Structure 1
Amino acid sequence: MTATADKPGTVGVAAVDRALSVLSALADGKGNLSLNELAESTGLYKSTLLRLLASLTHARLVSRQPNGRYVLGPTVAKLHASYLQSFCCSDWTIAALHELVEATRESAAFFVLRGEFQLCLHRVASPRAVRDTIETGKLLPPGRGAAGRVLQAYAYVGDEALGQQIRRAQVLLLTGDHDAELAEIAAPVFGALGEVLGAIALIIPCDRVHSAWTVTVRKAAEALSLQLGGGFPDQSTDHGSIGATAAGTTL
C-alpha cells in the first residue's frame, strides 16, 4: 500500500482523520497489530504513525504491549460503556420495521431469544385488513418460523444442516411453518461484537409472498446491524435466499 502521510484528509482535520484510521485498523485487526501491520493497513508512514501512537497512548486510546504490538486502550472501553448507556437500540429497530412495512405493506417484527422461547420484541402491523396476529410481547416456541430458525442457526442449536445453510445465505424464507397460511422471511441482526442481537422478519399471508423480498429483508437487517454498531460477516458464497416449507427445506 502506498504511504499517505502527506495526503490531507478529505473530511475534517487531517491529523484527526489519520488518528481515527489507526483506531479503525486496530479494531478491524482484532486489536493487536505491529507497527508494520499498522503502516500496511492505514497507508501511513511509520514516522507519522509513531507520532499518532504517542498521542493516542497518552489519551489511553491505544496501549503498547510488552512485545511491541499495539492494542486498543482502556479509554475505548469507557467510551463504549457510555455509548451503550446513551444509545437506544429500540428506536433504530422500530424505525427499520416501519421502513419494511412501508416498502412491502406487510407486517414486520423483531424477534429475540428469551430462555427457551423466542420473543416478539417489536412489531409494526401491516396496513392491510388480512394479516398475521402475532403481537409485541408474544412468546413463541423456539425453532418455529423463519425468525426462530435464524436465531437457532446462530445459537448453533436445532437442525445443523439448515443452520449451516442459513449462516451461509444470511436470510431465510419459510412458508407454513408457524402457521399454514403464513410465510415468514427473516435475517439476523448483528451487534458491535459480532453477536446476533435478534432476527428481523416479514410475516406475510402465503398468497402475497414475493421471493424478491428476501433481498429486501436481508438489506434491512444489514442496515440495522450497521446502525447498531455491527455488520454482516463476510461470506465467500452467494447470499441468495433459502426457501422452505413445513414439510422440508428446498434451496
Structure 2
Amino acid sequence: MARYPTRPPLNSSADGGGVAAVDRALMLLAAFQDGDRSLSLQELAERTALVKSTVLRLLVSLQHFGLVQKLDDNRYALGSGIARLHRVYTASFGLETVVPPVLRTLVETTRESASFHVRQGDKRLVLFRVHSSQALSDHSNAGDLFPLDRGTGGHVIMAFSGARGNLFDRIRRDKVISLSGDRVPELAGVSAPVFDASNNLVGAITLTMPTMRYRQEHVATVRAAAAEVTRRLGGSFERAGAPADAAVD
C-alpha cells in the first residue's frame, strides 16, 4: 500500500517533475499564517485538506529537520530551522540587489525620478537613484546628501526614528507622505518607508517630479513599491514601523 495518497495535492509540482510528498510537507509549513502561534493537528489537516495520519507522518520529518516543533500541549509551531533559513535568505539579498529593480519599475510606471534615501547622521543620503527620461525633472544623484528635516524622504526617516508632531503621526499611520515645495519650490515628492526582516526602518523610497506633473495616484504606487521592497527584505510592511521612544532633535 502506498504510504501517501496517490492523488497529488492541489497546486502540485508533480506535473513539472516535482515530488508530491514534498509538496504536502511544504503545504504544512505554508498553513501557518500571520498571527498563528501554533496550530493543532486538526487545524493543520483542515488547512491542507490532508488526512491526519498523513499530516502526522509529515510532521515527524519536519520536526527532524527543525522546521516544526511539537509543543507541550500537543500543538505545533514553526521550528528554529525556519529562523535559520530566514537569516540565510535575508543575508543573501543586499539592498543593491533588491532596491534598484523596484526603482526602475517605479520609474517605468510613473515616468518620474525615483530615489532610495538612508539616514547618515543628521542628513539623508541618496543611496540609489533612477532618473526620469523626461527633460524637465530634478537631477539629484546617488551619493548626494540632503537635509533630514526637509523633503518627503527626510520626513519619513524622521517619523520612524521617533520624531513627534502631527505630520510624523500621520506618516506613521499612513506609511506614505506627499508634499509640494517642501525642499525645492515647484518640486513635489512622495515617499514611503522600507523595513527589514526585523521590521526596523531601512530607508525611504521617494518619487520626485515637477509639481505640475504630480498625480494623486502616485501615492498608492510609491507605497506599493515600498511594501514590495520590504517584502523582498523579509519584512512585513503593514505590521512594521512602531516608532522609537526617543524623539529626533
Aligned residues: CA RMSD: 2.8
What secondary structure sits across from 1:68 in the alignment? Answer: coil
Alignment map for 1:171-210 (pairs within 5 Å): 171-210=176-215
Rounded to whole Å, the distance in 2 between the matches of 1:55 and 1:209 is 55
Is this contact kept in 1: 2:107–2:113, CA < 8 A? yes
Q: Which moved more, 1:16-25 or 1:56-65?
A: 16-25
Is this contact kept in 2: 1:9–1:17, CA < 8 A? no
- 1:123 Cα deviation after fit: 0.8
Greater radius of gyration (CA): 2
> 2:59 matched to 1:53?
yes
Rounded to whole Å, the distance in 2 between the matches of 1:213 and 1:87 is 27
What secondary structure sits across from 2:160 in the alignment? Answer: helix
Cα 1:54/1:29, change in 2 over 3 Å: farther
Alignment-derived partner of residue 11 in structure 2: 10
- 1:108 Cα deviation after fit: 0.5
Cα 1:222/1:153, change in 2 over 3 Å: same
Rounded to whole Å, the distance in 2 between the matches of 1:26 and 1:200 is 30
Q: Which moved more, 1:222-231 or 1:144-153?
A: 222-231
Is this contact kept in 2: 1:143–1:158, CA < 8 A? no
Rounded to whole Å, the distance in 2 between the matches of 1:45 and 1:115 is 57
Rounded to whole Å, the distance in 2 between the matches of 1:53 and 1:219 is 36
Alignment-derived partner of residue 216 in structure 1: 221
- 1:132 Cα deviation after fit: 1.9
Q: Which moved more, 1:139-148 or 1:94-103?
A: 139-148
Alignment-derived partner of residue 132 in structure 1: 138
Q: Which moved more, 1:201-210 or 1:216-225?
A: 216-225
- 1:55 Cα deviation after fit: 0.8
Runs of 4+ more than 6 Å apart: none
TM-score when scaled to structure 1? 0.77
Q: Identical aligned pairs, as a percentage? A: 45
Alignment-derived partner of residue 229 in structure 1: 234
Aligned length: 229
- 1:60 Cα deviation after fit: 1.3
Alignment map for 1:1-251 (pairs within 5 Å): 8-12=9-13, 13-26=19-32, 28-29=34-35, 31-39=37-45, 41-159=47-165, 161-233=166-238
TM-score when scaled to structure 2? 0.77
Is this contact kept in 1: 2:186–2:211, CA < 8 A? yes
State the AA in 1 paired with 2:85: L
- 1:147 Cα deviation after fit: 1.8
State the AA in 1 paired with 2:155: R
